[in-house]
Amino acid sequence: MSYLLQWQQPQFLYWLIPIILFALWYRWRYSRAVRYRYSLVRTIISAQAQSEHIYKKFFTTIRLLALSSIALLIAMPRLVDVDSKLPVEGIDIMLVLDISGSMQLQDDSKDARTRIDIAKEEAIRFVEKRENDAIGLVLFANDALSRIPLTMDKQMLKEIIGDLQIGFINPDGTLLFTGMLTAANRLKQSKAKSKIMILLTDGEPSDGDMSPQITLEAVRALGIKVYTIGIGSDETRYIQHPFGLLPIQGVNKDLLMSIAKQTGGQFFLAKSQSDMRMIYNTINSLETSEQEVQSFGRWYDLAFFAIWAILVILFLELFVATFVWFSI
Question: Count of alpha carbons within 13 Å of 47, Cβ hemisphere only?
Answer: 7
Q: Which residue has the higher pLDDT, 212 or 289?
A: 212
Among 6-10, 73-77, 182-186, 314-318, the least confident range = 6-10
Return the higher-pLDDT residue of 216 and 20: 216
Q: Tell me: the pLDDT tens digits for 288-306?
A: 655 444 444 566 777 788 7
Q: Give 239-263 pLDDT, tens digit per residue.
A: 555 555 555 566 888 999 999 999 9
Name which of 64, 55, 59 is nearest 327 in CA terms.
55
Neighbours of 302 (CB within 10 A): 18
Task: Please tell me the distance from the alpha carbon of residue 252 to that of residue 202, in angstroms, as a whole number.
Answer: 8
- pLDDT-based confidence at residue 220 (cuts at 50, 70, 90): very high
pLDDT digits (tens, 9 = 90+) for 99-157: 998 888 877 667 778 889 999 999 999 999 888 788 999 999 999 999 999 988 899 99
For the chain, give every domain's residue range.
3-83+296-324, 91-288
Residue 49 predicted with pLDDT over 80? no
Band (pLDDT 50/70/90 cuts) for residue 267 is: very high
**Considering the entire predicted model, what is its pTM?**
0.60
Q: Considering the domain 91-288, what is its CATH architecture?
A: 3-Layer(aba) Sandwich (3.40)
